[in-house]
């Protein structure tokens, strides 16, 4: 399978690249600055996300969007970048678009009226990021002609957590593990994402992942 990973120089992007490559897939890192790639064995497409065209992506089976923006002035790029990718892939549903999503838009009630970001316990410091990613997801759900999948991590997304190879899947609701915690490591998240790239179980859907 030919897989492009946008944002492969980022921390989650690196895990995704390594996981996909370890399974024998033909993986290309799509990065704005190739100097940030230290793995000389990586295939690299050096191009800004907003400059990507359909011709750049037409030969891939799967495009994984691991773009991230963290500062107040760049947070709107979550929506505009995803809209750009959706626009260039619209009408080409043979190419699947997988998105590294956020947990803030997961529901905490069966009626799907209260999101995690709406709860009193949600950390105020992460609210702008969660809101920006939620807006991007809302836009994606209204998009037609794009074969997308959105993977939300658990509430506690642990950058340097253990790679256990074990996880539990959910849908639009926040789920917890056997210890009652909502937590997943970057490494285990990457396993779940590449499993979905291979199996295609959640076409035009959002799903979520938590450690076992």
Locate the domains of the chain by residue range: 2-211
pLDDT value of residue 36: 80
Sorted by sequence, the CB contacts under 8 Å of residue 124 that are 6+ apart come out as: none
Residue 91 has pLDDT above 90, yes or no: yes
Task: Please say whether the structural domain 2-211 has been given the CATH code 3.40.50.720.
Answer: yes
What pTM was computed for the model?
A: 0.95
173 CB-near residues (< 8 Å, 6+ apart)? 106, 107, 108, 110, 112, 208
- Are 166 and 211 a contacting pair, CB within 8 Å? yes
> Do β-strands 43-46 and 26-31 pair in parallel, antiparallel, or remain unpaired?
parallel
Kindly state the tokens that stand for 65: 């969007």
**pLDDT value at position 40?**
67
C-beta contacts of 113-120 below 8 A and 24+ residues apart = 116/155, 116/174
Of 132, 196, 186, 133, nearest in space to 11 by CA: 186
pLDDT higher at 118 or 36: 118
SS (H, E, C) 142-160: CCCCCEEEEEECCCEEECC
Q: What integer pLDDT is reported at residue 154 of this predicted model? A: 96
Work out the mean pLDDT of the chain and round it to a whole number. 95
The predicted model gives 99-111 an average pLDDT of: 96
Per-residue pLDDT tens digits for 152-210: 999 999 999 999 999 999 999 999 998 899 999 999 999 999 999 999 999 999 999 99
Q: Residue for token digits 């773009």?
A: 67
What is the distance, to the nearest Å, from the Cα of residue 47 to the centroid of all Cα atoms in its chain? 19
179, 128 in Cβ contact below 8 A? Answer: no
The pLDDT tens digits of the residues spanning 120-161 come to: 999 999 999 999 999 999 999 999 999 999 999 999 999 999
**182 touches 119 (CB < 8 A):** no
Tens digit of each residue's pLDDT (9 = 90 or more) over 12-60: 999 999 999 999 999 999 999 888 877 767 899 999 999 999 999 999 9
| Helix, strand or coil, per DSSP, at residue 198 | helix
Calculate the dihedral angle through the C-alpha atoms of 34, 37, 38, 40, rounding to the nearest 10 degrees.
Answer: -70
Cα distance between residue 13 and residue 36, in whole Å: 12
Distance of CA 176 to the CA centre of its chain: 19
- Going by C-alpha positions, the residue among 184, 160, 166 that lies closest to residue 174 is 184
pLDDT for position 166 = 95
């Amino acid at each position: 399978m030919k897989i492009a990973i946008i944002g492969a120089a980022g921390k989650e992007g690196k895990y995704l690249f390594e996981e996909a490559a370890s399974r024998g897939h033909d993986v290309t890192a799509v990065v704005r600055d190739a100097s940030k790639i230290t793995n000389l064995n990586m295939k690299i497409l050096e191009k800004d996300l907003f400059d990507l065209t359909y011709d750049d992506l037409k030969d891939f089976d799967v495009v994984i969007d691991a773009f991230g923006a963290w500062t107040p002035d760049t947070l709107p790029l979550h929506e505009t970048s995803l809209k750009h990718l959706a626009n260039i892939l619209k009408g080409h549903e043979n190419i699947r678009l997988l998105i590294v999503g956020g947990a803030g838009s997961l529901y905490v009630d069966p009626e799907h009226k209260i999101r995690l970001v709406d709860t009193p316990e949600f950390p105020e410091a992460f609210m702008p990021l969660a809101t920006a990613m939620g807006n991007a997801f809302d836009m994606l759900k209204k998009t037609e002609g794009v074969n997308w999948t959105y993977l939300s991590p658990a509430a506690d997304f642990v950058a340097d957590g253990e790679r256990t190879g074990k996880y539990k899947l959910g849908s639009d609701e926040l789920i917890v593990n056997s210890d009652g915690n909502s937590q997943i490591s970057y490494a285990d998240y990457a396993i779940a994402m590449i499993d979905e790239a291979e199996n295609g179980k959640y076409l035009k859907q959002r799903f979520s992942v938590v450690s076992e």
